[in-house]
Amino acid sequence: MQSTLLDRLLHSGFEVSLFYLNRVEHESPSPCGLVPEFGAPTEKRLDLYMPKVFKRLFALAKGCDVVFGMQDGRPNASAIVVGRMARRPVVGWIHNLPGRTAQDFPGGYPWITRHLYPRANRLVAVSKGIAEDLAKWSPGGMHNVVVLPNPVNVEEVGRLSESPLSDWAQHIFARRTLVGMGWLNRRKGFDLLLRSFATVVQGGHDVNLLLLGEGEERDALQTQAAKLGLHGRVFMPGYQPNPYPFLSRAEAFVLSSRHEGLPTVILEAMSLGVPVVASDCPFGPAEILDGGQCGLLVPSEDPHMMADAISNLLSSEDLRLRLRHRGLERAMQYDTSTVTEKFEALFLELHSSGGRKKNRTDKSISFARTLD
């Protein structure tokens, strides 16, 4: 999603300097061949490298027109600090509950984000729910908050979905298959999904469940699946650089998260014509699904209701067709062509208000983000 935005900005004539706070095992591809800089060699060593990181970020900020922190926690905080020091406009991108970003700091000091966020020139909340949460978390910064959804390149997602299905996945999709995607951690609620899926299977539906992603709860989830008697029906192949060939073949996409910011994967599923079942967690699913008009919403952390919704979807071809149609229409409202123009207007507004002439040939932005 971040690479999608940067790619469109580069094509629009913006000059971009991209800085990652640290390296990780799975690095995202850089947009348009952009060569990023890296701070710490690993996330664990980031604290040790922070003086060096700040020095380089300050130099980048001095040479640009706008500083853009692209992720909650350290990236946003770092962007705000160096941007204010360099006297450059700063935009922070808020994807998740601000109160939870405190875990991204040594000792978990929530006051860091509470006091730094109001010092950004703009805070871009990815959903109305996140904006409302910001009002509670840091009331002093609410005058700078705008709501802009995550951009989804519908055309590119469709193109990537046409790649051949991996050999190991052929036998999985020989049976109707549900797909879940995301980090294997508690926030994504895959433990709830497994309980729902077990009920669906016990109800007589001959289906598989494919979970795409990696994380610290892998062992626990595998143990839970075995205890629920789901051997041969639950598959966890790990991180997939291109998940769209799997997603496009799904009978349905299921999001069981306990909380989100704006789950872009729902939009990706809908753009591929895949029906969606999602927990009505804070925040994003209800907003994307238009209150349940474009997908099935179930109460958060309620595996029984989720099982009922999945079973109803599997049993009704009319329901699946209706949700495919509505989902495709809804996904286009979040397409990159629409959303990116709003980001461009925001950056140019800040550039212009900073005293520089609004010139489409003179647009440079430094982006601070992390890969953790």
What CATH number should be reported for the domain holding residue 160?
3.40.50.2000
Q: Find out whether 234 and 247 touch, Cβ atoms under 8 Å.
A: no
Both 308 and 364 in a single domain? no
Which of 261, 264, 334, 280 lies closest to 95 in space, CA to CA?
261
Per-chain mean pLDDT for the chain:
88
Say which amino acid occupies 157: V
Q: At CA 280, angle to CA 277 and CA 286, rounded to 5?
A: 85
Q: Which residues of the chain have pLDDT under 70?
A: 25-29, 31, 98-111, 141, 354-372
Say which amino acid occupies 163: S
Q: What contacts 101, CB < 8 A, 6 or more positions away?
A: 72, 73, 76, 113
Both 167 and 136 in a single domain? no
Both 127 and 257 in a single domain? no
Both 116 and 7 in a single domain? yes
3-state secondary structure of 200: helix
Both 160 and 32 in a single domain? no
Q: Find out whether 255 and 276 touch, Cβ atoms under 8 Å.
A: yes
Q: What contacts 208, CB < 8 A, 6 or more positions away?
A: 172, 173, 175, 176, 177, 178, 233, 234, 235
> What's residue 362's pLDDT?
44
Both 118 and 172 in a single domain? no
> What's residue 107's pLDDT?
47
Q: Find out whether 213 and 179 touch, Cβ atoms under 8 Å.
A: no
Both 78 and 144 in a single domain? yes
Q: Find out whether 291 and 311 touch, Cβ atoms under 8 Å.
A: no
Both 66 and 158 in a single domain? no
In terms of C-beta density within 10 A (0-12 exposed, 13-18 middle, 19 or more buried), how is residue 56 classed?
middle
> What's residue 73's pLDDT?
82
Both 363 and 284 in a single domain? no
Q: What are phi and psi of 70, to 5 degrees?
A: -100, 5
Distance CA 167, CA 163 (A): 12
Both 130 and 270 in a single domain? no
- DSSP E strand stretches across 82-173: 90-94, 122-125, 145-147
In the chain, what is the straight-line distance between the N-terminal and C-terminal CA atoms, in Å?
A: 15
Q: Find out whether 276 and 270 touch, Cβ atoms under 8 Å.
A: yes
Domain containing 48 equals 2-151+335-369
Exposure string over 180-199, b if 16+ CB within 10 A, otherwise e: bbbebeebbbbbbbbbbbbb
Both 354 and 280 in a single domain? no
If one counts the domains in the chain, the total is 2
> What's residue 138's pLDDT?
73
Both 246 and 323 in a single domain? yes
